[in-house]
C-alpha cells in the first residue's frame, strides 16, 4: 500500500473506533400521565385518592442489558443505578454507541444476589438511605408525599418497597422496545395505593409485592 494512503486509512479506522466508543444514553424521567414530576414536589390529581403531592421518588434499576433478537449484545458493568427525582442529571443510562439492539432489559429493584452480598459501594452504598440494615436488604423503591386521604401525621404517605425472600420477593424483570427516554409513569400506582387504610408500607409483604408489580408494568419507552 502507498505509505500516504496507508496513513489515511489508519486515521479513518481510528476515527471510526472513537465513534463506536462514544457514549449513547437513555434519559430516565418520572411522570404521572402527561405530567412530568419535578425535583421538589408535584401535585397530581387522581380519580381514587384525590390530590396527592409527590415529594420524593427514588428507585433502583439493576442488571441493565441491551438485546437484539433475543441475544444480549451489551450488559452494564454497573450492578445497579439509583434513580433519584432530585438528581435528574444522574437519571441516565449510558452505553457504547454503535450497538444494534431492539430491546432494553432491566430489573426494577435489586435481585437476591445483590441483597445477600452485604452492603456494597457506589449507588448501592447504604449511605444513600436505600438499605434496610435490620433486614439486610435493599429497598427497591421509595415514594413519599402527602394527601388529605392519609390519616398519618401531616397527611404523609411513605412507600418504601422491598423484599427479596420468597414469598415476598418483589423485584421484577422489565423488557421494553428500544427508545431514547425511559419513563416511569406513576399514574396507576397513585390510584392503586390505599392512603386512608395504609399510608405507609415499610416492610416486605403482600402489599409491597402488589405495588412493585404495579410499578414494574408502569415503565414505558419513548422514541
Question: Is 81 part of a structural domain of the chain?
Answer: yes
Residue 201 belongs to domain spanning: 23-222
Question: Is 120 part of a structural domain of the chain?
Answer: yes
| In contact, 28 and 184? CB cutoff 8 Å | yes
Output the pLDDT for position 23: 55
Output the pLDDT for position 135: 73
Whether omega for the bond prior to residue 32 falls within 30 degrees of 0, making it cis, is no
- As for how many domains the chain has, the answer is 1
Of 131, 137, 124, 128, which Cα lies nearest the Cα of 63? 124
Question: What is the pairing mode between strands 103-108 and 200-201?
Answer: unpaired
Cell numbers that stand for 5 in this block:
494512503
Output the pLDDT for position 217: 98
- Tens of pLDDT, residue by residue, the chain (223 residues): 555 545 434 333 333 333 333 458 999 999 999 999 987 789 999 999 999 999 999 999 999 999 999 999 999 999 999 999 999 989 999 999 889 999 999 999 999 999 888 668 999 999 999 999 877 699 999 999 999 999 999 999 999 999 999 999 999 999 999 999 999 999 999 999 999 999 999 999 999 999 999 999 999 999 9
Q: Write down the pTM of the prediction.
A: 0.88
Output the pLDDT for position 204: 95
Amino acid at each position: 500500500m502507498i505509505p500516504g494512503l496507508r496513513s489515511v486509512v489508519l486515521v479513518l479506522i481510528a476515527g471510526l473506533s472513537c465513534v463506536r466508543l462514544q457514549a449513547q444514553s437513555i434519559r430516565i424521567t418520572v411522570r404521572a400521565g402527561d405530567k412530568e414530576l419535578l425535583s421538589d414536589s408535584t401535585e397530581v390529581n387522581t380519580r381514587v385518592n384525590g390530590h396527592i403531592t409527590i415529594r420524593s421518588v427514588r428507585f433502583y434499576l439493576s442488571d441493565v442489558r441491551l438485546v437484539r433478537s433475543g441475544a444480549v449484545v451489551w450488559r452494564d458493568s454497573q450492578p445497579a443505578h439509583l434513580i433519584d427525582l432530585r438528581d435528574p442529571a444522574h437519571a441516565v443510562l449510558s452505553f457504547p454507541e454503535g450497538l444494534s439492539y431492539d430491546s432494553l432489559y432491566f430489573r426494577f429493584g435489586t435481585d437476591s444476589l445483590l441483597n445477600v452480598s452485604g452492603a456494597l459501594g457506589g449507588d448501592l452504598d447504604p449511605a444513600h438511605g436505600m438499605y434496610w440494615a435490620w433486614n439486610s436488604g435493599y429497598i427497591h423503591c421509595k415514594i413519599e408525599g402527602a394527601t388529605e386521604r392519609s390519616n398519618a401525621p401531616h397527611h404523609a404517605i411513605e412507600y418504601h418497597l422491598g423484599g427479596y425472600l420468597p414469598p415476598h420477593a418483589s423485584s421484577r424483570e422489565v423488557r421494553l422496545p428500544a427508545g431514547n427516554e425511559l419513563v416511569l409513569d406513576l399514574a396507576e400506582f397513585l390510584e392503586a395505593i390505599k392512603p386512608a387504610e395504609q399510608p405507609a408500607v415499610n416492610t416486605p409483604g403482600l402489599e409491597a409485592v402488589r405495588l412493585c408489580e404495579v410499578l414494574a408494568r408502569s415503565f414505558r419507552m419513548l422514541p
